[in-house]
Structure 1
């Protein structure tokens, strides 16, 4: 593993550890409330507006946030991939049009508007907001998968496999899935970034979780007015979100880079060493 990849991996692992192992360590945090935006008895990060330790709040505020984002993306990608591949493989042009034109209409709708309408109609239900985020992501996912799959499902290789009597499951599950794995994995990381952005925006605007929640995005919104006197109450949860998103995208770019690009980098590194 190169040093660069180790740094990228560390950027991803640190927020994940804080989110999923943090509640275990937060058990030792003080239960009593302290002075708002003041020093804390437990960590050097001080307290938030409710007198809770900032580190303890960060340790307990990431798990639900990330699980909702990940679950939303996976469900949206499953739906978008099915529609996109069906459109790419459609034997008739009108079937492709029937599947893709509603996606074009959906792309015209502002994503935050969809989320705000869902939040207002359901009085801030986290489930409804997650569904709205997934709904907003389906259209771009569908268009990307259709574009990526069109050249694969209509390729001469697929025709040859069909003429050889290979089953549809083998053609799509073996050959097509192997060809599409890299671009879909890269796009999946991008959609996860978008889901985190939308979820954080909804929580920041007070549309999602309870305003007293320790959720990272809620903490940023709730404590933003005290940024100058208690910067860690905003910087710590915001930094964890940014670190995770930047780390995921850098790591995906490094892992999913074109093999020819990797070979060029390797040769350049060897020439420098010589």
Structure 2
């Protein structure tokens, strides 16, 4: 019961921002186009207006799709590069290949992520593609490090050696065993990297380094309306709440779905014994 309730909360937290991002632009099409009084009541929703006189709810409905797609694309590109680097470093038997791949990763880990984003934004006058590329670059290093650590114990472990001695083909050793063993930890790490991407993207937009300052993006809306937090709190609370729900929902759902079945079985057995 407790697990089902936790999963329901996770799905609800994730469903709300995803609904806003996917269906929101269609619902916001009926919002009035004309600007209203800034930080005042709105004729379309009870959430009021933002600093530009736009309806807060309509802005939130239209500002999530780009934010969500950019974050997802950034994580996908970064993790693909990190996965290739990490798996190659873990599988190689040559020390110099491992050093050639991982020492630049170590240097990249030392660089502050926000500094990379700020440099990319200043050099390109805030081009969203450059900012997204800098975020992806900041995520490559920790992703490669984690993949190398996770894959090393699998591809060089005793089970893989036993399968090799039994004459199992590489297709089975890597295509089935390695994939099965790595799927759960890598999926959990991807959820963590998505959280980091949302944090970096929101921070960049909050600092005015990402999307245009008049864009309806959730992070831009938080930064643009923060001065009216006491007079028009919903203009900040709604987009900020959607970002929080997105991050919390993804991590709760990942924790629930990716729990090791053996751990779950042990917990159930312990509860049954106590009962």
Question: C-alpha offsets along residues 150-170 of structure 1, whole Å, 9 cap, x if unaligned?
Answer: 111112332344445554444
Residue 157 of structure 1 aligns with which residue? 159
For normalisation by structure 1, the TM-score amounts to 0.95
Alpha-carbon spacing, 1:271–1:24, altered in 2? closer, same or farther (3 Å): farther
Name stretches of at least 5 consecutive residues in structure 2 with no aligned partner.
none
Change (3 A) 1:265 1:208: same
1:165-206 CA deviation, whole Å, 9 max, x = no partner? 554444322211110000000000000000000000000000
Which residue of structure 2 lines up, in the alignment, with residue 50 of structure 1? 52
**Deviations, residues 103-141 of structure 1 (Å, cap 9, x unaligned):** 000001000000000011111111111111000110100
Q: Distance in 2 between matches of 1:170 and 1:83?
A: 22
Equivalent of 1:186 in 188, 191, 196: 188
1:77 is aligned to 79
Alignment equivalent of 1:139, drawn from 130, 138, 141: 141
> Which of 126, 133, 151 does residue 124 from structure 1 map onto?
126
1:91 aligned onto 2:69: no
Question: C-alpha displacement at 1:7, in angstroms?
Answer: 1.0
**Structure 2 residue corresponding to 1:24, chosen from 23, 26, 30:** 26
Q: Equivalent residue of 2:259, what SS?
A: coil
What is the RMSD computed on CA atoms of the aligned residues?
1.6
Q: Give the whole-Å Cα distance in 2 for the aligned partners of 1:137 and 1:33.
A: 39
SS at match of 1:39: coil
Ranges of 4+ aligned residues in structure 1 off by more than 4 Å? 163-167, 267-272
